[in-house]
Amino acid sequence: MGNTFHGGGRSLSMSNGSTDVFVDVLVLAVSDLAESVWEYRFATLLILQDQSAVGRGVVGFDLEEIDWGSSPGEQAAAKDFVLRLIDLALRRHRWDELGYEPPFAEGFLRQYREMVEAFDPADAEPQNALSPFPGPEEAAMASCVRHRVLCAPAYWEACVFCNASESPC
């Protein structure tokens, strides 16, 4: 069973292993890039895709379910952040810390960038009860000292890398 991310009329389906790598490289980038509450909320959404914590084959989200903001300016800033995040990951930001070579990550990141670029945040419908986008009170603000990445402590105590290695932060 794999995982699917949707948006902009497109889908990105990945195996469980590819999803792990996709999340790892994005978490490395978002941990160094996030500054605003919205950006930390998006970081939490990425962290919540950690299959070691939530189960294999059950992650993925739809760009349409994200609260991109209420004004065109907020929506543009949020989309710009996600594109900058993907671009940072595409530049192999901190990939040397992975302990493995992610051969397909670049291709998945490029596909995801195309999805985000094609997506219009004005089309989002985040106000349904099933929306996966964390609220401001759930924004990832804690960091794993060992791996220097954001954690979602409201959900679990370990970061995505500690969860994968089964050793505590």
More confident residue, 2 or 82: 82
More confident residue, 60 or 39: 39
Arithmetic mean of pLDDT over the chain:
82
CA-nearest of 102, 5, 110 to 49 is: 5
Percent of the chain topping pLDDT 70: 71
Locate 88 and state its tokens.
Answer: 């940072």
What's the pTM?
0.84
Cβ(143)–Cβ(28) under 8 Å?
no
Beta bridge partners of 14: 3
Q: 150 pLDDT band (50/70/90 cuts)? A: low
Which of 18-27, 41-50, 73-82, 119-128 shows the lowest mean pLDDT across its residues? Answer: 119-128
